[in-house]
Amino acid sequence: MSARLESLAEALHARFENVLHRRESACGELSYDLDASELPATATALRDEEAFSFATLIDVCGVDYLGYGQAQWRTEAATESGFSRAVEPGASTTLSASESERRALEQPARFAAVYHLLSLRHNLRVRLRAFAVGENPPVLPSVTGVWQAADWFEREAFDLFGIVFEGHGDLRRILTDYGFIGHPFRKDFPLSGKVEVRYDEDKRRVVYEPVSIEPRTLVPRVIRDDNRYRPALRAEPGDGGQVGDG
């Protein structure tokens, strides 16, 4: 991590010692967790105080930690076909007691929002994560009063994850249809959706019906071009030295 980021980390620790909890980053970035109740006041301080001046909100990302680290999609190595990259539904994904406890501490709730901040004055970035309170629905305070750009970002997280941002003045869907049911980026949302849409000739209007596609486990095929996964090239006798599969 650069000396400038370390200097920022020291300033953040001195100012928000009991509020911001630093997380390890594989990318060498500054990333912090904080309680949802501390979010508005901390965001205001990060924006207004000269030492930080994080006046620009780059993004707000919703996250669903359902089944985090367990898994249907865990794999240690790729295969030629790619079809063994998932397990059948219902396969054992039991964690050890110590591992379960560690992950419970890291993920105290199912839903969270991640805030990406930029200080143009200091040319520095920082990332905050706050876990939502509850699941039905998950709730976080809005930061639209701090950064106006949060308006559409929070609407997106509400639409796709169902996170309710208290204090938002116009929390409506922004990407899905008016009659859409559910939140499509949740981990338990079926790949085929919950309803089908078609035009009914008799009713002369669009109608919504329960989806008729049978749910199933879909595993993407991975096409790899490097030589480890390509069929062995061979030269056929009498082909003028051309290389191919015949």
CATH code, domain carrying 18: 3.30.460.80
Residue 232 has pLDDT above 60, yes or no: no
Residue 86 has pLDDT above 80, yes or no: no
pLDDT digits (tens, 9 = 90+) for 148-201: 999 999 999 999 999 999 999 999 999 998 778 889 999 888 877 888 888 999
Q: Are residues 168 and 91 in the same domain?
A: no
Mean model confidence pLDDT for the chain: 81
C-alpha count within 13 angstroms, C-beta hemisphere, residue 115: 31
Query: Which own/partner contact pairs does 14-19 have at CB distance under 8 Å and 24+ positions apart?
Result: 15/45, 15/49, 15/51, 15/52, 16/42, 16/45
* pLDDT score for 66: 86
Q: Are residues 134 and 159 in the same domain?
A: yes
Q: Are residues 59 and 125 in the same domain?
A: yes
With respect to residue 4, please indicate whether it lies within any of the assigned structural domains: yes
Domain extent for 139? 1-68+107-180
* pLDDT score for 89: 47
Q: Are residues 52 and 112 in the same domain?
A: yes
Q: Are residues 51 and 22 in the same domain?
A: yes
Q: Are residues 88 and 119 in the same domain?
A: no
DSSP 219: -
| Predicted structure pTM score | 0.74
pLDDT digits (tens, 9 = 90+) for 33-48: 999 999 999 999 999 9
With respect to residue 241, please indicate whether it lies within any of the assigned structural domains: no
Nearest Cα to Cα of residue 150 among 160, 158, 142: 142
Cβ-based neighbours of 137, under 8 Å, separated by 6 or more: 162, 163, 164
